[in-house]
């Protein structure tokens, strides 16, 4: 039962009326519904509630480039800084036709809470350019990246806004951003981006970081539910960097990977899939399709397979009110951003499924991005063993703190994670005050 303080807060903090018309798969609505719930339970002051729910900056720029054909085309670029009270904005840049302001706002807010959950001195940011990179040459992508960077020069900087790779961007794109920024300021600034090539100041361990973070929190959850690691079965939706890394590392720890999938579909073998062999197959054939010795399954079917751990590591909104009741996993480790809708949360809670929310589960990537930023600024680089040890320490501590918050307030892990994050960001605002 809610305490009186919580009930009073609920009469003050009200969501926007028009948000009731937003569909289940709207990313900003999903984030805000969790934020609203956590804010009410924390009895967050109405004024501070308004500050924390509003992005600090929403930047939309035109990005004109000359195509290889000589034709001039103008793309739209977006960058959102959600909150920088704890430090510079941190968040990826994606090149995709599906980029929208709502999506970028949601992802920027997620980054604020993600950084706060693992207690990094960063705020949240996100960006993107609306384009189809598959139709663009390397030269066109470079011109697009450099012009987009130039349009954001007033925002970018190691003390203000530090981008990273995201959908359809990579180390090379980060190198172009770093070079463009450095040329404009007149000296090399490696710490302006993370996810760079190792030779340019990137960190060892960065590529495996998100998947390794999933491994760490999954082991913590298995221990909590008293499931032996060598008896645990795992299904992984998504066989990109995060999903394939998580599957490889979990298999190496002794877990049995019973299913994996990519965008074309998946494979299922209750006796266990040879993940190194699957990785080699994908390297040669590009997709898992046709992998010998395993049964084909759809991505939808994979989500409802019987297993101890389900790792949705591909797309947003794959676990919804339509399929949540059919999920049989005991633990869900959210490797992707926003794989579960807000309406599905209540169903999973009722089923007693232990959900490791995205803002905790996939925070390994931003944690090692933080390590990269620290190493760049200090000019001293760590070996991979040191990176992995420090990552495990931070992720394990964050897991314990989220569990503590969830138990204290008798809520699920997701709302517990949001409460922990909001409390930390709110505390910083209270100490800093409001500049006017």
pTM given for the model: 0.91
pLDDT-derived band at 5 (thresholds 50, 70, 90) equals very low
- Residue with token string 């949001």: 418
- Pairwise pLDDT comparison (337 vs 394), residue with the higher score: 394
Instruction: Kindly tell me if the per-residue pLDDT of 9 is higher than 90.
Output: no
pLDDT at 301: 97
Cα–Cα distance between 95 and 127 in angstroms, integer?
A: 9
Instruction: Kindly tell me if the per-residue pLDDT of 35 is higher than 80.
Output: yes
**Residues 6 or more apart in contact with residue 7 via CB below 8 angstroms:** none
Residue 307 Cα distances to 151, 160, 240, 268, 270, angstroms: 48, 43, 21, 11, 9
Query: pLDDT tens, 124-151?
Result: 999 999 999 999 999 999 999 999 999 9
Query: pLDDT tens, 184-218?
Result: 999 999 999 999 999 999 999 999 999 999 999 99
Query: Quick one: average pLDDT of 372-389?
Result: 98
Q: Please state, for a pLDDT cut of 70, what percent of the chain lies above it.
A: 95
Q: Is 321 helix (H, G, I), strand (E, B) or coil?
A: coil
Q: Which residue stretches of 315-363 are H helix?
A: 342-351, 358-361
Backbone angles phi, psi at 235, to 5 degrees: -120, 130
Query: pLDDT tens, 233-266?
Result: 999 999 999 999 999 999 999 999 999 999 999 9
As given in the structure block, the two tokens for residue 190 are 């490696």
Say whether 126 is catalytic: yes
Instruction: Kindly tell me if the per-residue pLDDT of 391 is higher than 60.
Output: yes
Query: Quick one: average pLDDT of 31-41?
Result: 93
193 phi-psi bin (left φ>0, alpha ψ -120 to 50, beta other): beta
Q: Is 135 helix (H, G, I), strand (E, B) or coil?
A: helix
Q: Lowest mean pLDDT: which of 101-110, 169-178, 412-421?
A: 101-110
pLDDT at 435: 87
Query: pLDDT tens, 13-33?
Result: 344 433 433 567 777 778 888
pLDDT at 420: 98
Domains of the chain and CATH, by start? 55-191 (3.40.50.10860), 209-361 (3.40.50.720)
pLDDT-derived band at 283 (thresholds 50, 70, 90) equals very high
Instruction: Kindly tell me if the per-residue pLDDT of 335 is higher than 50.
Output: yes
pLDDT at 17: 36
pLDDT at 24: 79
- Pairwise pLDDT comparison (60 vs 30), residue with the higher score: 60
Query: pLDDT tens, 85-95?
Result: 999 999 999 99
State the catalytic residue, choosing from 126, 219, 264, 322.
Answer: 126
pLDDT at 8: 32
Closest CA to 126 of 86, 80, 158: 80
pLDDT at 3: 41
pLDDT at 402: 98
As given in the structure block, the two tokens for residue 97 are 């036709």
**Mean pLDDT over all residues of the chain?**
93
Instruction: Kindly tell me if the per-residue pLDDT of 10 is higher than 60.
Output: no
Query: pLDDT tens, 347-361?
Result: 999 999 999 999 999
Q: Lowest mean pLDDT: which of 8-17, 252-261, 420-429?
A: 8-17
pLDDT-derived band at 6 (thresholds 50, 70, 90) equals very low
Residue 388 Cα distances to 121, 207, 221, 314, 368, angstroms: 19, 12, 19, 23, 9
């Amino acid at each position: 039962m809610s305490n009186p303080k919580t009930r009073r807060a609920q009469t003050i903090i009200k969501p926007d009326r028009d948000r009731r018309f937003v569909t289940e798969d709207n990313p900003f609505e999903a984030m805000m519904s969790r934020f609203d719930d956590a804010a009410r339970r924390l009895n967050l002051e109405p004024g501070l509630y308004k500050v924390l729910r509003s992005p600090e900056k929403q930047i939309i720029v035109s990005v004109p480039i000359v195509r290889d054909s000589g034709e001039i085309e103008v793309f739209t670029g977006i960058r959102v800084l959600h909150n920088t009270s704890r430090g510079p904005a941190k968040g990826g840049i994606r090149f995709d036709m599906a980029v929208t302001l709502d999506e970028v706002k949601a992802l920027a807010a997620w980054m604020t809470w993600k950084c706060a959950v693992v207690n990094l001195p960063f705020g949240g940011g996100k960006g993107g350019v609306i384009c189809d990179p598959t139709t663009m040459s390397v030269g066109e992508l470079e011109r697009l990246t450099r012009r987009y960077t130039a349009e954001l020069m007033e925002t970018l900087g190691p003390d203000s806004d530090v981008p990273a790779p995201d959908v359809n961007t990579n180390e090379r794109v980060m190198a172009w951003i770093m070079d463009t920024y450095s040329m404009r300021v007149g000296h090399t600034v490696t710490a302006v981006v993370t996810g760079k090539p190792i030779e340019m100041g990137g960190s060892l361990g960065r590529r495996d970081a998100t998947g390794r973070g999933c491994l760490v929190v999954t082991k913590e959850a298995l221990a909590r539910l008293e499931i032996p690691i060598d008896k645990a079965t795992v299904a992984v939706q998504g066989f990109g960097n995060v999903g394939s890394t998580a599957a490889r590392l979990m298999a190496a720890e002794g877990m049995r990977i019973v299913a994996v999938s990519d965008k074309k579909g998946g494979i299922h073998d209750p006796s266990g899939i040879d993940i190194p062999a699957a990785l080699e197959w994908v390297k040669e054939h590009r997709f898992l399709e046709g992998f010998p010795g395993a049964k084909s399954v759809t991505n939808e079917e994979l989500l409802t397979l019987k297993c101890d751990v389900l790792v949705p590591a591909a797309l947003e909104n794959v676990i919804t009110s339509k399929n949540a009741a059919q999920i049989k996993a005991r633990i869900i480790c959210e490797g992707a951003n926003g794989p579960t809708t807000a309406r599905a949360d209540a169903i999973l809670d009722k089923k007693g499924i232990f959900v490791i929310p995205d803002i905790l589960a996939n925070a390994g990537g931003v944690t090692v991005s933080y390590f990269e930023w620290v190493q760049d600024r200090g000019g001293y680089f760590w070996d991979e063993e040191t990176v992995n040890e420090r990552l495990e320490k931070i992720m394990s501590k964050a897991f314990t703190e989220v569990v503590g918050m969830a138990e204290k307030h008798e809520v699920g892990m997701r709302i517990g994670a949001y409460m922990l994050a909001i409390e930390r960001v709110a505390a910083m605002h209270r100490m800093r005050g409001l500049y006017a």
